[in-house]
Structure 1
Amino acid sequence: MNIAYSLNFVTCSDASGGHRMAWHQWGDADSAHVVVCAHGLSRQGRDFDVLAQSLCQQAIDKGHTIRVVCPDVVGRGQSDWLQDPMGYQVPFYVADMLAMLAQIHLQAPIRELDWVGTSMGGLIGLVIAGQPGLPLPVPVRRLVLNDVGPSIEWQAIVRIGTYLGKAGAFKSLQEAADAMLAVSAGFGPHTTAQWLELSRHMVKPLADSLHGELRLHYDPAIALPFKQATEAATLEGQAALWALYDAIAVPTLLLRGKDSDLLSPATALAMTQRGPKASLVEFAGVGHAPTLIASNQLAAVSQFLL
């Protein structure tokens, strides 16, 4: 499989003078069918390498073209870090995505726009698909929410808070991969090679290190607004998220790790009964969140989008 890849940047505005957001592109740069894949809280866009290449190849096999765009949300991966860490919140991420989509649309007009969002990336997609009047090139055609919904279980937020922002220092990629595996059991089973590849883009050389040490790629300050959340404020925010979800009027696929501690069975069931009445697919032996690498996970997404 030899799918075209490029790293791109878009300049986004903020109160401190602006920042650059990176986005990874797979497939035909001129395709009018764009699929955006948005990652989770402490991850980055290269998490979707396997899914992106699979979608591109399947589109080619069907005689179509497709462009898969995987942003590094600001503060992660190849994107800038913000001067004001309170900008690490979903409304600001949505503004960055609108800037990216406008740039992509200028390069080659978008006629079909799909969104695949894991965890935080799903919340961004929920806003983009559920808030009318946003300056999108075209409305979202299909939405995939990967292990996230309007109601988020508080115990999962507490669990994530125990490790978020601890960038660490690692002597090797393997040591970093082992450390990430310890807090990522919910991702489900992966081969050693798969996990190493998932980990490769999660680290970068530690500045001023004499021994080639590595650290996690993200700005530790992304934890600051996250850790200011309270259980009461989280419950209040859920009403607004449900209103956005109920406003979504496009086909929606909800993926859930059967052992997820973030998306409860009750919330998933409610999501199949209201709003877009999402189709639910669950994966046994997986918690929060499916990585969309296993063949059954790839199949669920590709069959829905293609």
Structure 2
Amino acid sequence: MRTRSVMALDPLGFHRVVYHEWGDADNDRVLVCVHGLARNSRDFDELARALSRDYRVVCPDMPGRGKSDWLAPGVNYDIPRYLSDMATLLARLDVDQVDWIGTSMGGIIGTCLAALPNSPIRSLVLNDIGCFVGKAALQRIAEYLGDHRFDSVAAVEQYMRTTYTAYQGLSNKQWQHLARYGQRRISDGQYGLHYDPRIAEQSREIQDQDIDLEPVWSQVNCPQMLIWGDKSDVLTANTVERMQQLRPDMDLYRIPGMTHAPSLMETEQITAIQRWLRDNRVKNQGAKR
């Protein structure tokens, strides 16, 4: 793994976006993996390791998370900012096209990029996020965000085990990995979660309205894989049905009994993504002949 950074511009100056790379740096097949609202790039370590045999895998920390800079007061954590930062990152990568895997918020960012004219997004994997998110799910997410404080990394891990119900299939080692990279030391003997608490504040400001992405998502023309935890409140059965009606060619990977959002750390999930990306690449190669 190689750790790098790029300086992105915001209305008040520059901020640093850190990203981790896996695989051959000269590979022109590039895969970008973007995490969810309160997560960070290290969620993708196992997936990136598996896919690095075929791809140059790039996993950024979105601003305010992980090793990336927190945005200055007065600069919002919002989709336009994330799109601008990812455009900067894509320019740094110096490739014409990328495949994209996005969990929740990362999927929204990928959708918005893929919907734009002349988009560099070649294929899109959406992890438990669709064209509509109801306000009840947004309110639930806003409830667990905040400036939480803990006495130990073990307490951080216990909080995560309680909060992230979709991760119940993970091993103790995987939970320890999430806790290690999901916390930050605030002072001697005190730890916080590895994101800017202002993200929680801004999330609460938009929790009282649905997010309707259908007009945007309908403009996406690249191949798509939709990963669905069928007990998810963020990606509901009604939304999945609607997306299938609009895009019958979209591939659906349904995970029975799974809540929001699949970790993409379990072997079955990694294998499903790996297989879809390979099959899609073969189809594209065949179409060009």
Q: Same fold (TM over 0.5)?
A: yes
The answer to whether the aligner puts 1:6 opposite 2:2 as a matched pair is yes
1:210 aligned to which of 188, 194, 202: 188
Q: Any idea what SS the aligned residue of 1:19 has? A: strand
Post-superposition offset of 1:25: 0.8
The answer to whether the aligner puts 1:282 opposite 2:254 as a matched pair is yes
Report the equivalent of 1:144.
125
Which ranges in structure 2 are unaligned for 5 or more consecutive residues? 279-289
Rounded to whole Å, the distance in 1 between the matches of 2:265 and 2:74 is 31
Rounded to whole Å, the distance in 1 between the matches of 2:168 and 2:87 is 32
Post-superposition offset of 1:231: 3.3
Identify if the C-alpha distance between structure 1 residues 249 and 243 changes in structure 2 by more than 3 Å, giving closer, same or farther.
Answer: same
Post-superposition offset of 1:277: 4.0
TM-score relative to the length of structure 1: 0.87
**One-letter amino acid of the counterpart of residue 109, structure 2:** I
1:213-261 Cα deviation digits (max 9, x unpaired): 32111000012221111534x3xx51xx212211111110000112111
Equivalent pair of 1:85/1:221 in contact (CA under 8 Å): no
1:295 aligned to which of 248, 264, 267: 267
Rounded to whole Å, the distance in 1 between the matches of 2:248 and 2:72 is 38
**One-letter amino acid of the counterpart of residue 117, structure 2:** P
Report the equivalent of 1:201.
181
Taking the TM superposition and a 5 Å limit, the aligned residue runs for 1:1-306 are: 5-57=1-53, 59=54, 66-84=55-73, 86-105=75-94, 110-133=95-118, 139-166=120-147, 168-206=148-186, 209-211=187-189, 213-232=190-209, 234=210, 237-238=211-212, 241-275=213-247, 277-306=249-278
Report the equivalent of 1:62.
none
Post-superposition offset of 1:304: 1.2
Post-superposition offset of 1:140: 1.4
Rounded to whole Å, the distance in 2 between the matches of 1:291 and 1:13 is 31
1:31-63 Cα deviation digits (max 9, x unpaired): 101100000000000100000001113x2xxxx
Rounded to whole Å, the distance in 2 between the matches of 1:33 and 1:112 is 8
Rounded to whole Å, the distance in 2 between the matches of 1:158 and 1:111 is 38
**One-letter amino acid of the counterpart of residue 174, structure 1:** A
**One-letter amino acid of the counterpart of residue 178, structure 2:** L
Rounded to whole Å, the distance in 1 between the matches of 2:51 and 2:109 is 21
Rounded to whole Å, the distance in 2 between the matches of 1:161 and 1:231 is 10
Identify if the C-alpha distance between structure 1 residues 159 and 250 changes in structure 2 by more than 3 Å, giving closer, same or farther.
Answer: same
Out of 72-81 and 124-133, give the one that drifted further: 124-133
**One-letter amino acid of the counterpart of residue 294, structure 1:** E
**One-letter amino acid of the counterpart of residue 171, structure 1:** D
Q: How many residues align?
A: 278
Post-superposition offset of 1:281: 0.8
Identity of aligned residues (%): 38
TM-score relative to the length of structure 2: 0.92
Rounded to whole Å, the distance in 2 between the matches of 1:257 and 1:94 is 26
Rounded to whole Å, the distance in 2 between the matches of 1:143 and 1:226 is 25
Q: Any idea what SS the aligned residue of 1:301 has? A: helix
Post-superposition offset of 1:141: 1.3
Q: Any idea what SS the aligned residue of 2:235 has? A: coil
Q: CA RMSD in A?
A: 1.6
